[in-house]
Amino acid sequence: MVLLWGLLVLSLSCLRGPCSVFSPVGAMEPLGQQLMSGQTQEKLPPLFLLKLGKQQELGGKTAWKKAPGDCKEAPTPEQTHRLAQAMMAFTTDLFSLVAQNSTRPNLILSPLSVALALSHLALGAQNQTLQRLQQVLHADSGPCLPHLLSRLCQDLGPGAFRLAARMYLQKGFPIKEDFMEQSEQLFGAKPVSLTGRKEDDLANINQWVKEATEGKIEDFLSDLSDGTVLLLLNAIHFQGFWRSKFDPNLTQRDTFHLDEQFTVPVDMMQARSYPLRWFLLEQPEIQVAHFPFKNNMSFVVIVPTHFEWNVSQVLANLSWDILHQPLLRERPTKVQLPRLHLKYQLDLEATLSQLGLQELFQAPDLSGISDESLVVSSVQHQSTLELSEAGVEAAAATSTAMSRMSLSAFSVNRPFLFLILEDTMSLPLFVGSVRNPNPGAQPERKEQQDSPDNRDSFQNEKSFSLEDKPFGPDLKLAPPLEEDYPQPSSPK
């Protein structure tokens, strides 16, 4: 079973001094009357439609206007295809920068959560600010991105995927009714008024976060800036049950290879005959496996054959067309996969600025939210992952650079990347990397040094015989099994 939580909080402040005070009648409920325990478990409000995009010339400048009516129809297959490709491109951009700037051994974040927050902000963005948001989200040709994301979130694995959102406002902040109404209608973000008492506001916000994440994320915010006038929050929950579960009795202590010289012990889940869809990409040399969940979701593991790799190089060669290979059939495979418990929190201001959104933190045009001059003061994100054996039993690319291998084992015993994907369109929900699944353990020096160039280095893995070696660094390229498995088609 896999449990994942993604949380994002976007804070806005007035650019020049205190904001004006205005209280729209009936606009907000007091903080003390917001939905608390029990009620947060109710069915989330549906997400409806949104349009970004129509432009008209005003005084020689290009002004962008929203036309919600233009996006009321269900997305076409072509729109869905473009959205999935855009989300994969955004995931690559975002996670590559996060990995580049992080010193942590393990990372996880939800690009979908970040994209939803930026789309929410786009409801009130105008002119160049809106254009930059669309460009960073790779939505230049898809002006209905928020509508599409909203619509698709409704259809993502009923029962396995949940989205919660909320909007906190400074008491009396003059927010525009159109933004407030669309926020609740499209994203389910109920507006709630802050009390102005920092300790009470922090306690209540953290209480909502705790309940929205079913206790997985506590004390998320430790401070609330005096200038904060608006908080946009969203929380994503994914609970994936394996279509074919791992037997806990087979889980045992085993070796995870950190690099050429050191290892750490890990709890390694195992299966003798696991229905797995996997392939080798030759440039860069990586192994990709799809571990299926129920509800058309997969845990996709990407294992570089060499130890020396970086996230951006790997993801740059993992396009949507490569990951989306529905013709590759499952094959009974001997599997090793480490149990995981990951937690990662970060401030995304530097990353989003590097992506080209520095204007958000300086002088954005957010006049669709309020007539006040607003600036984004903070973007906080946290994700957690728990990966274990539990599950529900069930019956069982580009050009020529991909092939099926005549091997029968897949061992995740070295650093790897992973994605949580929706299978029908390969939409990324979460992305992460694991370089040390047991960071609290003292690394042990290998008796015999392994080298990425020595492909026979792992032949003596204790859990596998020599004739059935792990699908790991001792991998030998072999002809594809053409009779049993159709080959990936080249993207058009």
The mean-pLDDT minimum among 39-48, 156-165, 200-209, 240-249 falls in: 39-48
User: Which pLDDT score, from 0 to 100, does residue 240 have?
Assistant: 83
Give per-residue pLDDT as tens, 55-67: 223 233 333 344 4
Comparing 267-271, 341-345, 468-472, which segment has the lowest mean pLDDT? 468-472
- Inform me whether the pLDDT recorded for 252 exceeds 90: yes
Span 426-470, pLDDT tens digits: 889 999 999 999 999 999 998 754 444 334 333 333 333 323 333
* Percentage of the chain exceeding pLDDT 70: 72
Give a three-class secondary structure readout of 222-291: CCCCCCEEEEEEEEEEEEECECCCCCHHHCEEEEEECCCCEEEEEEEEEEEEEEEEEEEEECCEEEEEEE
More confident residue, 8 or 255: 255
pLDDT at 347 over 50: yes
pLDDT digits (tens, 9 = 90+) for 112-151: 999 999 998 888 888 999 899 999 999 864 456 677 777 7
| Rg of the chain over all Cα atoms, to the nearest angstrom | 24
Estimate the share of the chain in helix, then strand, then coil, as percent rounded to the nearest 5: 25, 30, 45
- The lowest-confidence range among 107-111, 344-348, 422-426, 469-473 is 469-473
Q: Which two tokens stand for residue 142?
A: 């898809």
Pairing status of strand 29-30 against strand 402-403: unpaired
Strand partners of residue 262: 445
Q: Parallel, antiparallel, or unpaired for β 374-387 and 402-403?
A: unpaired
- 207-216, 251-260, 370-379, 438-447 — most confident range: 251-260
Q: Which residues 6+ apart lie within 8 Å of 41 measured at CB?
A: none
Topology (CATH) of 248-337+397-468: Alpha-1-antitrypsin; domain 1 (2.30.39)
Give me the residues paired with residue 475 across strands: none
Task: Return the amino acid letter for 424.
Answer: T
Would you say 380 and 231 are in contact if contact means Cβ atoms under 8 Å apart?
no
Residue 344's closest CA among 111, 2, 7, 108? 108
The domain limits of the chain are: 2-33+48-240+342-386, 248-337+397-468
Q: Which has the higher per-residue pLDDT, 306 or 460?
A: 306
> Per-residue pLDDT averaged across 363-373, rounded?
89
Residue of 15 and 236 predicted with greater confidence: 236
448 within 8 A of 459, measured Cβ to Cβ: no
Q: Which of 311, 168, 305 is nearest to 233 (CA)?
A: 168
- pLDDT tens readout for residues 277-297: 888 887 778 899 999 887 788
- Does the structure show a pLDDT above 90 at 302? yes
What are the beta bridge partners of residue 93? none
Mention the CATH class of domain 2-33+48-240+342-386: alpha beta
d(CA 412, CA 291): 12
- Distance between CA 429 and CA 84 in Å, rounded? 11
CB 287 within 8 A of CB 280: yes
pTM of the model: 0.79
pLDDT at residue 157, as a whole number = 57
